[in-house]
């Protein structure tokens, strides 16, 4: 399992290198899923959006409010919500999921206004 970012799917404002490296992880994951499939190994990538972490805590309040307004669930994510997906993808319940790119964004990537 790899952890990328929603920036790998949407781009990153004022951080093109960040968006590019996260997009590269998505491509790497898909290639590894193809190779791993021959050996019954699954490989997926989790793409968190804005999660209540120390790094996001450094953002100014205005930015966090803009993100909340743009997110369908109208809140930032919690680290546990990303961890829960990672646990699921690592479990036998996800044994037929491979090459998946899974956003954990509260719907931030759904809205364009």
- Active-site positions read 18
Phi and psi dihedrals of 104, rounded to 5? -120, 80
Structure tokens that stand for 33 in this block: 């899923």
10 vs 19: CA distance, rounded Å: 8
Query: Residue holding tokens 């790998």?
Result: 8
34 vs 53: CA distance, rounded Å: 32
């Amino acid at each position: 399992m790899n952890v990328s970012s929603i920036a790998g799917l949407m781009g990153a404002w004022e951080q093109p290198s960040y968006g590019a490296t996260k997009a590269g992880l998505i491509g790497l994951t898909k290639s590894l899923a193809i190779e791993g499939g021959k050996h019954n190994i699954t490989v997926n990538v989790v793409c968190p959006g804005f999660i209540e972490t120390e790094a996001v805590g450094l953002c100014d309040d205005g930015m966090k409010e803009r993100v909340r307004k743009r997110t369908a669930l109208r809140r930032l994510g919690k680290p546990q919500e990303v961890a829960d997906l990672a646990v699921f993808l690592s479990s036998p319940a996800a044994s037929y999921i491979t090459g998946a790119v899974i956003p954990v964004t509260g719907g931030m990537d759904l809205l364009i206004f």
